[in-house]
Chain A
Amino acid sequence: MSAELSLIGPILAAMLAAATPLLFAALGELVVEKSGVLNLGVEGMMLVGAVCGFAVTVKTGSAPMGLLAAATAGAATAALFGLLTLGLLANQVATGLALTLFGVGLSALIGQAFVGIPLKGLPKLNIPGLTDLPVIGQALFGQDLLVYLAILAVPLVHLFLYRTRAGLVLRAVGENHAAAHALGYKVIRIRFLAVLFGGAMSGLGGAFLSMDYTPMWAENMTAGRGWIALALVVFATWKPLRVMLGAWLFGGVTIAQLHVQGLGVGVPSQLLSMLPYLATVLVLVLISRDVARTRLNAPACLGKLFHPDA
């Protein structure tokens, strides 16, 4: 096998791994936005999930407990957002920003005792025969559980939104909360559940970073992935399957720039590290350019406050 071909497998595997935290967070946020709520606190929820997952894994020695803690912590911070925006009718943009600032601080505070502790990472799948396949074996059959879970979540979210009654109600609430309310649906409760789901998914995305991708805790380790996930939802025009494509694209950009850095070409590492952020801007521009399509796909009540008496 040629040298180029032998590189494809590891690059593909790395790309899928790099896409996983984005996929978790963006899928969660997609459901939140479909219910008509804009939660800009993804970055904060990911960080809290990352640190809680890491801390619990270190303390208990059990990765499943860590993941559970990460999802719970993400949902708990999301509950705070839900309480403010849905219960107390606070501005969603401002509250989301507050959640991110709070999450950065809180995660740094919790994580202080855990800086510099290494973790083993999650166990990788190993199917004799399949995992050993050349080129694609490692990428397709040698990842850890969370990578598959994130990919599995894509069709599940799609089926939930478009093939179940509950999904239909959730979308109705996001499109026209007044009409949904008039039909007797509990707008606030449905949105709150969606927000909790978004928080749990963000928490898992963060935990994948701290427990597996780079198994350690560092302040601000999400490095803007929460914001990129928000951009991905727009990029995907609120469609789960496209979220996956978008996440892979960004995973690809991230891994490509890391590999170029590794090759030691003459471009400084800081400039290469800008690529994922610049790619986000570029992609956002390309998608948003089509105003009609964005408006057609965006939930009509996105970011609007709901009060039953108003």
Chain B
Amino acid sequence: MSLIRLEPRGQASQAMVYLTPPLAVVLTLMSGFVLFLLLGFDPMKALHAFFIDPVSSRRGIGELIVKATPLTLCAIGLSIGFRANVWNIGAEGQLTMGAIVGGGLALAFYGHGGWWLLPLMVIGGAVGGMAWAAIPAYLRLRFNASEILTSLMLTYVALLLLNFLAHGPYRDPDGFAFPESRLFEADAVMPILWAGTRVHLGAAFALLAVVGGWVLIARTFIGFQIKVIGLTPAAAGYAGFDQKRIVWLALLLSGGLAGIAGMGEVAGPIGQITPNVSPGYGFTAIIVAFLGRLHPVGILLAALLMALSFIGGEAAQIAMGLPKAITGVFQGMLLFFLLASDVLIRYRVRFGARRAVA
């Protein structure tokens, strides 16, 4: 008889739903401490350089918001799907397509722009992302093909397409063969919301997505259907819910939001098309969605935390020569700890042998 047992709870623990994410963060920090020690760095100094220094200035906090913007946009969309068992893991590809279409419009109307160009680019970005997400939706509903694999395969295709465009059709004609487009003109660039930082209009979109996501899930019949499909697909079938419509909705919504995120990157902090638009926002957004418990407000907080891991990784690399890859290790560990501590929601941990049932 094992010494540690898991005893199912009668009801999921609400307290644990909220306690486990902070617990996972603490466990990750503790593991980070050990990891830095093993790598031969002063752990306190390293953690400080990673998590405190980058946000000790106005510029730093601005950068935090800049990075949290695409993460929030992608994760809100993904969370809707995850709730309904629609596993879109190709947000990175949809983000890339948003950048390709939105940025492509900026280049197409180079020198002929106007006030209408930026709104057109936002729509274009959303359409690009939606179109890319529509493929896995169609293939799942028409051919029963797993959206997990198709959306991921399409991510590789989108990244190769971006690479091709940056080296070819999108390249700056006066750019000495660098794989970069022209810098976007003023009417194709996201307005800055906070002077002295790079916080741009996308941050407002992200907040809108948070509110919209909450309204959709908590206040609409569609949101109710999504929850039922996720929890008990059979019951949703008996109730006559149109599951196909939910799959379309989940994928188009997440694709559209990811597309806007990608467009916001090229029209925001980057300001042009390059072969590397995203440092993996679409993948990290998966962690953000889970860490935020698929809840819009939770996602916002989780996105800020994950944004910190990105800028912390860069800052620690510059300040202490810490390897940049450590960001990915931190993100992976955090998700592991979260998933592991999830067990506390549905089970009690019991020590000692099972008592005989009278």
Cross-chain contact A101 with B339 (CB below 8 angstroms): no
* Interface-side segment among A143-151, A166-174, A204-212, A282-290: A282-290
Cross-chain contact B343 with A88 (CB below 8 angstroms): yes
* Interface-side segment among B193-201, B202-210, B329-337: B329-337
Q: Given contacts A95-B339, A270-B164, are A224 and B153 in contact (CB under 8 A)? A: yes
Q: Given contacts A90-B343, A101-B328, are A274 and B157 in contact (CB under 8 A)? A: yes
Cross-chain contact B164 with A288 (CB below 8 angstroms): no
Cross-chain contact B325 with A219 (CB below 8 angstroms): yes
Partner of B145, one of A103, A104, A284: A284
Partner of B336, one of A84, A270, A294, A309: A84
Cross-chain contact A289 with B144 (CB below 8 angstroms): yes
Is A271 part of the contact surface with B, judged by Cβ < 8 Å? yes
Cross-chain contact B149 with A284 (CB below 8 angstroms): yes
Is B182 part of the contact surface with A, judged by Cβ < 8 Å? no
Q: With a CB–CB cut-off of 8 A, which chain B residues contact A90?
A: 339-340, 342-343
Q: With a CB–CB cut-off of 8 A, which chain B residues contact A187?
A: none
Bound Cα distance from A101 to B333, whole angstroms: 9
Is B287 part of the contact surface with A, judged by Cβ < 8 Å? yes
Is A215 part of the contact surface with B, judged by Cβ < 8 Å? no
* Interface-side segment among A4-12, A106-114, A121-129: A106-114
Sorting the interface of chain A by its residue count into under 10, 10 to 19, 20 to 34 or 35 or more gives 35 or more
Cross-chain contact A89 with B6 (CB below 8 angstroms): yes
Interface positions, chain A 263-310, Cβ under 8 Å from B, are: 268, 270-271, 273-274, 277-278, 280-281, 284-285, 288-289, 291, 294, 307, 309-310
Q: With a CB–CB cut-off of 8 A, which chain B residues contact A255?
A: none
Interface positions, chain A 207-239, Cβ under 8 Å from B, are: 219, 223-224, 227-228, 230-231, 234
Q: Is the interface of A mostly helix, strand, loop or mixed?
A: helix
Is A98 part of the contact surface with B, judged by Cβ < 8 Å? yes
Q: With a CB–CB cut-off of 8 A, which chain A residues contact B119?
A: none
Is A94 part of the contact surface with B, judged by Cβ < 8 Å? yes
Partner of B167, one of A101, A270, A278: A270
**Which single residue of chain B is at the shortest CB-CB distance from A92?**
B339
Q: With a CB–CB cut-off of 8 A, which chain B residues contact A278?
A: 153, 157
**Which single residue of chain A is at the shortest CB-CB distance from B286?**
A97
Q: With a CB–CB cut-off of 8 A, which chain A residues contact B148?
A: 40, 93
Q: Given contacts A231-B149, A268-B164, are A105 and B326 in contact (CB under 8 A)? A: yes
Interface positions, chain B 307-328, Cβ under 8 Å from A, are: 323-328
Is B59 part of the contact surface with A, judged by Cβ < 8 Å? no
A-B residue pair count with CB separations less than 8 angstroms: 148
Cross-chain contact A271 with B145 (CB below 8 angstroms): no
**Which single residue of chain B is at the shortest CB-CB distance from A106?**
B329
Is B163 part of the contact surface with A, judged by Cβ < 8 Å? yes
Is B299 part of the contact surface with A, judged by Cβ < 8 Å? no
Is B42 part of the contact surface with A, judged by Cβ < 8 Å? no
Q: Is the interface of B mostly helix, strand, loop or mixed?
A: helix
Cross-chain contact A108 with B325 (CB below 8 angstroms): yes
Cross-chain contact A108 with B89 (CB below 8 angstroms): no
Cross-chain contact B332 with A288 (CB below 8 angstroms): no
Bound Cα distance from A84 to B160, whole angstroms: 34
Q: With a CB–CB cut-off of 8 A, which chain A residues contact B7?
A: 309
Q: Given contacts A98-B335, A101-B335, A271-B160, are A109 and B329 in contact (CB under 8 A)? A: yes
Is A80 part of the contact surface with B, judged by Cβ < 8 Å? yes
Q: With a CB–CB cut-off of 8 A, which chain B residues contact A62?
A: none
Is B26 part of the contact surface with A, judged by Cβ < 8 Å? no
Q: With a CB–CB cut-off of 8 A, which chain B residues contact A108?
A: 323-325, 328
Is B283 part of the contact surface with A, judged by Cβ < 8 Å? yes
Bound Cα distance from A227 to B146, whole angstroms: 12
**Which single residue of chain A is at the shortest CB-CB distance from B339?**
A90
Q: With a CB–CB cut-off of 8 A, which chain A residues contact B160?
A: 270-271, 273-274
Min CB distance A246 to B, Å, is: 13
Cross-chain contact B325 with A112 (CB below 8 angstroms): yes
Bound Cα distance from A88 to B349, whole angstroms: 10
Is B189 part of the contact surface with A, judged by Cβ < 8 Å? no
Bound Cα distance from A307 to B6, whole angstroms: 9
Partner of B328, one of A102, A230, A274, A294: A102
Interface positions, chain B 77-96, Cβ under 8 Å from A, are: 87, 89
Bound Cα distance from A278 to B153, whole angstroms: 7
Is A164 part of the contact surface with B, judged by Cβ < 8 Å? no
Cross-chain contact A105 with B336 (CB below 8 angstroms): no
Q: With a CB–CB cut-off of 8 A, which chain A residues contact B157?
A: 274, 277-278
Q: With a CB–CB cut-off of 8 A, which chain A residues contact B163?
A: 270
Cross-chain contact A277 with B164 (CB below 8 angstroms): no
Q: With a CB–CB cut-off of 8 A, which chain A residues contact B115?
A: none
Bound Cα distance from A141 to B303, whole angstroms: 54
Q: With a CB–CB cut-off of 8 A, which chain A residues contact B139?
A: 281, 284-285
Cross-chain contact B146 with A84 (CB below 8 angstroms): no
Cross-chain contact A101 with B283 (CB below 8 angstroms): yes
Partner of B331, one of A101, A277, A284, A291: A101
Bound Cα distance from A277 to B156, whole angstroms: 7
Q: Given contacts A84-B339, A274-B157, are A288 and B146 in contact (CB under 8 A)? A: yes
Cross-chain contact B8 with A309 (CB below 8 angstroms): yes
Q: Given contacts A90-B339, A270-B160, A307-B8, are A102 and B329 in contact (CB under 8 A)? A: yes
Given A280-B149, A294-B144, 8 extra CB contacts under 8 A:
A84-B336, A95-B339, A103-B332, A112-B325, A227-B153, A270-B164, A285-B139, A288-B145
Q: List 25 A-B contacts (CB under 8 A).
A: A40-B148, A84-B339, A88-B339, A88-B340, A91-B339, A98-B332, A98-B335, A105-B325, A105-B326, A106-B329, A108-B323, A227-B153, A268-B164, A268-B167, A270-B160, A270-B164, A274-B156, A281-B139, A281-B149, A281-B150, A281-B154, A284-B146, A285-B150, A291-B144, A307-B8
8 A-B pairs with the lowest CB-CB distances in the bound complex, closest first: A105-B328, A102-B332, A108-B325, A270-B164, A90-B339, A98-B335, A105-B329, A109-B325
